[in-house]
Structure 1
Amino acid sequence: MTHIDHDGVPLPQRYGAILTIVLSVSIAVLDGAIAKVALPTIARELHASPAASIWVVNAYQLAIIVSLLSFASLGDIYGYRRVYQCGLAVFSLMSLLCALSDSLWMLIGARVLQGLGAAAVMSINGALIRIIYPQRILGRGMAINTLMVAVSTAAGPTVAAGVLSVASWQWLFAINVPIGLFALWLGHRFLPGNPQKNNGQRADECLDLRPAAFRPKRFRPAGQRPLDRHRAVSGHRGGRPVRPPPAAPALASAAGGPAAYPAVFPVHVYVYLLF
């Protein structure tokens, strides 16, 4: 593992790194689509009602949506490569647990943990593409990533029907294990490392899932009126100057400094595809 700058990684390593991302994103997206086709079979063999079996799909999707942004922030703290590899390992291990499940609730629990692993993969792959590709061909890497998400989503029902025609539903999850392990090995060998960019933020802040109602500092107390226009324009509050907000990343980049790139590559794409 080598740390790289904004010029990307050399070509032999770049091919292995993008292959890692293609494989991991494909199985993470496919797993959200193939389970829908297998729901009648799963419900019949596990003796579950249709209303209960739908949670095989819901558990995976909800786990991804809830934790997607949190894992992106953890990537800023601990490094993209580390979070990506951990998520891929959890996804592969939980895929095996899904295949070995003998009850509906065991399968749903494994799907929740599998969704957490998939969220770690999906939230970091865009940032990894940013440091894998040079700036002049960054659009090519983003296009490959988006293409694989779209193809995997479209191919999910076909792949599931093909597997179910020759094997049981357990193989829909078991097939992820060798692919995930191979991608894990590729990532260990080819994925570049990056310096930690957000050392001041704590991990518990990234994983804070409390409702907004329990965060009083985010809102004005009842009866407190906002700053009037004069104070907002003059930059003073109660006789004290207000600290100006930090400059935007684009301004920093224009001034010659390093630009900050988001860890999340487009989140709305994944939310749209999941639903």
Structure 2
Amino acid sequence: MNRWRGNPWAVLLTLSLGFFMTLLDLTAVNVAIPSMLDDMHTSLDEVLWVINIYILVLAALLITFGRLGDMRGPRTMFIVGVAVFTVASVLCALSRNPAQLIAARAVQGLGAAALMPQTMTIIIATFPAERRGTALGIWGAVAGVATIAGPTLGGFLVSTAGWRWIFFINIPIGVIVLALAVALVPDLRHGARRKLDIVGVLLAAATLVCLTFALTEGQRYDWTAGIWGLLGGGVLLLVIFLVQQGIRQRGEPLLPFGLFRDRNYAVMSFVSATVQVGMMGLFLPVMIYLQSVLRFSAIKAGLVMAPAMVLSAVVSPVAGRMADRIGGKYILMAGLALFATGLAWLALVADVGRTWYEFQPALIVAGFGIGCVFGPMVTVAMYNVEPGMAGAASGALNTIRQIGTVIGSAAVGALLQNRLAGALRDEAAKQAAGLPASVRDQFVAGFDNAAKGGLEVGAGQTGAAFQAPAGTPASVVHDLRQAAASVFEHGVVHAMRPTLALPIAVIAAGAVSCFLVLTGARREVRVARSAYRGRRRRSSMSTDSGATFNHRAGMAAFGEKETRDSGTSAGGRP
């Protein structure tokens, strides 16, 4: 085993397995939502917290653990993260009520935050620049594979063994990753002593908690002044966090603003957030629709998504290699455009009584688009990052990505709940016209008040709880049940369409922002000028062949540009 220690591809395999494990539950939990709603007799907003608390802790602590990786060594933090995540998975599986599950998911998010930023840091330190695109493309493909395995494996486990097994499955994966990490991953440290910004950590966490709670619980509390106050408080805390980080820029900030002077890194940070909003838009409402409206089993719902996600996993490494050769700008733009197109197509196809194959063209377009995004996005973002800043850059990029996930999940969930409450009320009023007068008001009221008690949208539920008056004839009870089912099915469809408009618009904004990415000679000149102004300290890290490669290529481009400029000033064409 020692001869494999430090081997780039063995290291990449180990890191990818750990990364895979953190993403597997995120998509698997979406498939399990209807089963959790039924099994725990809970509501949609509570189950949304099972998703959101994981992403919330992950987003709040990614930069922190990226910094700790720089301080303590990325290998050490990776191993700690895998161990915590594995233990937390056991706690999730053994949970008996929503509160226990939410608490265990928070611990799971802590483990994911510890291991995730270290994966990119170690990849950058292990692979030279000319091979990073391929490596990061494979790393990005892991996201596609997890997206496939989550719904498909999760659906199989939920259908055959119960939703708790989507957490039990992490135990053998975690043990294998721990063994491989100890045996294969080298201990890489850059020697710089760094301090942790505790105030920044607390401000970032408080900001995310305020925004997430307000968006997730807003519909239940009817968007009262307190909810709007939390939203305003979250925005205020965000401003305070940015000011505090600005003051600390001369010391050891949690978020180094210098990273965002690289235009490509800044643009890709925004794009990474938009992609995650799109992913939550794809999985959250669509999984509820497939299982609760079309009555697909969990495994069938997962298999509906599988062809598109297989395509995504196959395309991602190819897109990463193409980004190495021709640049990632236009690959990214095409991928984001296809992703948005697939979601829009899916919104048009969705209706009551659809069959599984009617969704495949739309999902395949979206899956192809997703495959063109992850590898090129990371390659473009990290191209100019120095190895000594890799932990901070990786942590910041992943944090922004997960902030997109948590805000996307909360915003998509809030919009879905809001549109569903209105659609159920309107559909109930329509259906009530065909019911006996003695039960009409109670029927409509059951749906009208559904949001206040928490929308129940599990498989076999109707979004509201009501009982027919005592002595109601059996034929009328039968009619009531049929009417309730029809209200629920049409209500979910009518709510899903405007809900999907949000991620479509956000992804489109990400595609447009890619016009700002620097490509070709302009980008190399930027690299060269940065090197010329004082980045010669890279030479002290001469073992990183990628840094030397970037420096030489940039200086060559800079020299060519200076020659062209001098030729122009001497009478050449402008």
Q: Normalized against structure 1, the TM-score is what?
A: 0.75
C-alpha RMSD over aligned residues: 3.2
Residues 20-46 of structure 1: per-residue CA shift (max 9 Å, x gap): 111111111111111011011112212
Match 1:83 to one of 77, 81, 84:
77
The 3-state SS of whatever aligns with 1:194 is: coil
> Is 1:43 the counterpart of 2:70 in the alignment?
no
Cα deviation, residue 185, structure 1: 0.7
- Name the residue aligned to 1:199: 193
Match 2:16 to one of 18, 22, 42:
22
Cα deviation, residue 154, structure 1: 4.0
Provide closer, same or farther for how the CA distance between residues 199 and 139 of structure 1 changes in structure 2, counting only shifts above 3 A: same
> Is 1:143 the counterpart of 2:170 in the alignment?
no
Letter in 1 for 2:240: A
> Is 1:63 the counterpart of 2:57 in the alignment?
yes
Letter in 2 for 1:181: V
Provide closer, same or farther for how the CA distance between residues 145 and 271 of structure 1 changes in structure 2, counting only shifts above 3 A: farther
Match 2:388 to one of 239, 245, 260:
260
Cα deviation, residue 155, structure 1: 3.6
The 3-state SS of whatever aligns with 2:7 is: helix
The 3-state SS of whatever aligns with 1:192 is: coil
The 3-state SS of whatever aligns with 2:390 is: coil
- Name the residue aligned to 1:128: 122
**C-alpha separation between the residues in 1 aligned to 2:115 and 2:245?**
30
Provide closer, same or farther for how the CA distance between residues 172 and 149 of structure 1 changes in structure 2, counting only shifts above 3 A: same
**C-alpha separation between the residues in 1 aligned to 2:150 and 2:19?**
13
**C-alpha separation between the residues in 2 aligned to 1:12 and 1:195?**
14
Q: Normalized against structure 2, the TM-score is what?
A: 0.38
Match 1:103 to one of 97, 104, 109:
97
Q: Which has the larger helix fraction?
A: 2
Question: Would you say the 8 A contact 2:4–2:184 is kept in 1?
Answer: no
- Name the residue aligned to 1:188: 182
Cα deviation, residue 65, structure 1: 1.1
Range with bigger deviation, 12-21 or 263-272: 263-272
**C-alpha separation between the residues in 2 aligned to 1:219 and 1:181?**
41
Question: Would you say the 8 A contact 2:83–2:178 is kept in 1?
Answer: yes
Letter in 1 for 2:38: R
**C-alpha separation between the residues in 1 aligned to 2:27 and 2:241?**
35
The 3-state SS of whatever aligns with 2:388 is: coil
The 3-state SS of whatever aligns with 2:96 is: coil
Match 1:113 to one of 97, 107, 116:
107
**C-alpha separation between the residues in 1 aligned to 2:102 and 2:180?**
29
Cα deviation, residue 133, structure 1: 2.2
The 3-state SS of whatever aligns with 1:209 is: helix
Aligned residues: 236
Residues 179-209 of structure 1: per-residue CA shift (max 9 Å, x gap): 0111011001111111244314247467443
Match 2:68 to one of 46, 49, 74:
74
Letter in 2 for 1:127: T
Letter in 2 for 1:213: I
Cα deviation, residue 153, structure 1: 2.3
> Is 1:213 the counterpart of 2:240 in the alignment?
yes
Cα deviation, residue 10, structure 1: 6.6
Question: Would you say the 8 A contact 2:200–2:244 is kept in 1?
Answer: no
Cα deviation, residue 127, structure 1: 0.5
The 3-state SS of whatever aligns with 2:175 is: helix
Range with bigger deviation, 105-114 or 156-165: 156-165
- Name the residue aligned to 2:158: 164
Runs of 4+, deviation exceeding 6 Å: 9-12
Provide closer, same or farther for how the CA distance between residues 217 and 27 of structure 1 changes in structure 2, counting only shifts above 3 A: closer
**C-alpha separation between the residues in 2 aligned to 1:110 and 1:272?**
22
Provide closer, same or farther for how the CA distance between residues 39 and 194 of structure 1 changes in structure 2, counting only shifts above 3 A: same
Provide closer, same or farther for how the CA distance between residues 190 and 259 of structure 1 changes in structure 2, counting only shifts above 3 A: closer
Question: Would you say the 8 A contact 2:203–2:241 is kept in 1?
Answer: no
**C-alpha separation between the residues in 2 aligned to 1:57 and 1:93?**
18
Question: Would you say the 8 A contact 1:95–1:177 is kept in 2?
Answer: yes
Provide closer, same or farther for how the CA distance between residues 12 and 105 of structure 1 changes in structure 2, counting only shifts above 3 A: same
Question: Would you say the 8 A contact 1:74–1:203 is kept in 2?
Answer: no
Question: Would you say the 8 A contact 2:6–2:186 is kept in 1?
Answer: no
**C-alpha separation between the residues in 1 aligned to 2:171 and 2:52?**
22
Cα deviation, residue 62, structure 1: 1.1
**C-alpha separation between the residues in 1 aligned to 2:186 and 2:389?**
16
Question: Would you say the 8 A contact 1:78–1:196 is kept in 2?
Answer: no
Question: Would you say the 8 A contact 2:26–2:51 is kept in 1?
Answer: yes
Provide closer, same or farther for how the CA distance between residues 194 and 43 of structure 1 changes in structure 2, counting only shifts above 3 A: same
**C-alpha separation between the residues in 2 aligned to 1:217 and 1:127?**
26
Cα deviation, residue 119, structure 1: 1.6
**C-alpha separation between the residues in 2 aligned to 1:217 and 1:162?**
47
Question: Would you say the 8 A contact 2:56–2:403 is kept in 1?
Answer: no
- Structure 2, gaps ≥5 residues long: 205-236, 248-257, 263-385, 409-574
